[in-house]
A and B are shown apart, each in its own frame.
Chain A
Amino acid sequence: MNLEKVVFAFFIVLALTMNFGFFVGEMNDPLHHNVYELYAAIVVNLIATVLKFGDRTHIGAVLLATSLVADLHLIAAAIAWGVGLYVLDMGNDVLGIVVSLSAGALLANITSVVLLVVETMSLRK
């Protein structure tokens, strides 16, 4: 067992689960979408991205790309939330945008985990 691989897989899977946890629930219900969960998802996603830096293999490059896509979506969601709430005074209506953006990030994170699984499967035992 390699500790580096454990940490790597841990953060990638955690990014997906956090993302999913935030996304799941009624679209416009603020009770279903916790701001702390979005925050945690962003932080974990950033960590996962940095962990993927510097891998020169092809699969490493694709992994990094999916992570960057997820980051983009989640940060866009956070900005949209902030702007909608404090600048445009949209109230809870902004949640629709935030949640749909996080859905995009979720797809990217799923791809990332699928790639991770594929890579692991292709390793010889």
Chain B
Amino acid sequence: MTKVTSLILRRMRVPLLVLIASYSISILGFVVIPGIDENGQRWHMTFFDSIYFVSYMATTIGFGELPQPFSAAQRMWATITIYLSVVSWVYAIGSILSLVQNNLLKRTIEEGRFTRSVKKLGENFFIICGYGETASLLVYALNNRGFRTVVIDNDSERIDELSMTDIPHFVPALEADASNSRILIEAGLFNDNCQGVVALTDSEEVNLKIAITCRLLKKTVKVICRAESLDTEANMRSFSTDYIVNPFESFASRLAMALHSPSSYLINQWLTGVPGTRLLEPVLPPRGLWLLCGFGRFGKAVHRFLTFEGITTRIIESDHELTEPPEGSIKGRGTEAVTLRNAGISEAVGIVAGTNNDTNNLSIIYTAKEQKQDLFTVARQNLGDNKKLFQNAELDIVMERSDIIAHEILSVILAPLLASFLQQVQSHGNQWSCELVSRLIAVVGETTPDTWGININDKEAPAVVRVLQQGDQVVVGDLNRNHLNREEKLHLMVLMISRADEDKGAGYKLITLPEDDYPLESGDEILFCSREGVRNEISWVLNNSNALYYVQTGEQESDSWIWRFFSGRQSIVDSDEV
């Protein structure tokens, strides 16, 4: 029995008992109480007569006194039973109505509907906890990339907002507390199609709880969490959370990267950007004195990374007691010219407006620019609605929290190898990155590239696996030839191959930027980077034996058996079957 029917039945128990009681008493009364016919004879109603009479009397239909006119005693009893039955009906109907409006019932019905629609998804999906700005970007992008999503948020307004947005697939959503393990299970945590859980709620504690719950309940599921303080991050790491996104830390580390290796920074931005948008111009942050306005979580992260890079910073902060900035910091908000002058804006080369108020940040940048024209400006954008303002403010770098988180998570989900590749980029230094930048531009042109990964296995690259099983070779160069004309190269680049390393047991060997003649092996994981749309082209070579044969040899494989017979050679497919 489902929960809903059980709940309804339980609530209807008393009203039904009242109805049964009032009916049975009334019916019995009419059978027992005697009537008198025109001859003065006593007569009794049969049970049949009595049930018939009570049925139409209780429902106020009223056919009159049947089968013959009643005696005074019968009329008295009829009067009593009218009130009895009407009252019990009113009570029963009232209970049904109040049951329909009952919050518990509504909630149970909603949860039931949610669980059913999650079960029906039938495709790979992610559970997103917390539906804010970041999550809405993420849900949209994931849906466009063929992943389904399930949303949990404890705010009903946000759930309503989700149902209003235009997303190509239906997104099951539930208003509930995501830190509750029961809710996560209802959202499909144990479902085989559940690829991962993304914790993006506003509360650090809830995110942590989600990470712990998922780790303990299902080891194989991928857990991605947002953390905004180092404490929480460390705590999540101890629960082997797969990926932790700390927007402040990751922005600050990128800013530091931009300082010591502008090309690595550029590669980072390009590969994690939104495909199809214009490529970011290179930025070259200068070395020298930097002013930091606001010493909250963001300011602290930037300060730490800049200090690590050997950059002198001076902090401007209004509340010294709360944030405890280092010695020599200036008190003030940074929106006034006086404060900026005190902080030594004339010697400064860059300014970071990192308070949690967008208006203040814009005002800081404007005041600073009035004082000194050629400052390098970095501003933190807190609310997504202010995007236009920050775009028009001619800033060198804008730090938008929800954007950063959404893109990091997307790249983790869509191309798990990307994070390891970006680490490689960082370790190779600026010279190596410079060369990579020029190669990338040659391949992708002027728009942000699409970055994705595939596995060489039966599901994702059946044609390649078949050739490899026969002992023939497939090399990296085969993959970026056009299947219609093999002389034409696709706008595609293989960034990295990850291969299980037998020497290290369960370890992986990473091959960065493999040459064209590098042979592939079954089980390889490949990270691609290409122009938008090339992904569909390459799937021909991966899936279709004939297309692969053509790009490898330049010969057209005959499609039908007769033609193959006459051309006198066995096809790949045939020899495989033999």
Report which A residues bind B (CB closer than 8 A).
35-36, 39, 43, 46-47, 50-51, 53-56, 61, 78, 82, 85-86
Contacts and interface: CB of A to CB of B under 8 A. Distances in A.
B12 A53 contact: yes
Contacts of A61: 1
Residue of A35, A47, A53, A78 ringed by the most chain B CB atoms within 10 A? A53
A36 B27 CA distance: 11
Contact of A53 (B13, B28, B47, B48): B13
B10 A53 contact: yes
Given A39-B28, A39-B47, A61-B1, A56 B6 contact: yes
B48 to A, nearest CB: 5
Interface string B1-34: 1010011011111001100110010011001000
Interface of B: 1, 3, 6-7, 9-13, 16-17, 20-21, 24, 27-28, 31, 46-48
B32 to A, nearest CB: 9
B48 A82 contact: yes
A46 B9 contact: no
B7 A54 contact: yes
B48 A54 contact: no
B104 to A, nearest CB: 13
Nearest to B20: A46
Contact of A50 (B1, B7, B16): B16
A100 B28 CA distance: 24
Contacts of B11: 54
Contacts of B21: 47
A77 B9 CA distance: 26
Nearest to A11: B17
B27 A50 contact: no
Contacts of B48: 82, 85-86
Residue of B6, B21, B28, B48 ringed by the most chain A CB atoms within 10 A? B48
23 contacts: A36-B28, A36-B31, A39-B24, A39-B47, A43-B20, A46-B20, A47-B17, A47-B21, A50-B13, A50-B20, A51-B17, A53-B10, A53-B12, A53-B13, A54-B9, A54-B11, A55-B6, A56-B6, A61-B1, A78-B47, A82-B47, A82-B48, A86-B48
Contacts of A35: 47
Nearest to A43: B24
Given A50-B20, A85-B48, 5 more contacts: A39-B27, A39-B47, A53-B12, A53-B16, A54-B9
Contacts of A46: 20
Contacts of A54: 6-7, 9-11, 13
B441 to A, nearest CB: 65
B9 A53 contact: yes
Contact of B20 (A39, A47, A56): A47
B58 to A, nearest CB: 15
A41 to B, nearest CB: 11
A50 B17 contact: yes
A87 to B, nearest CB: 10
A30 B284 CA distance: 108
A85 B47 CA distance: 11
Nearest to B48: A82
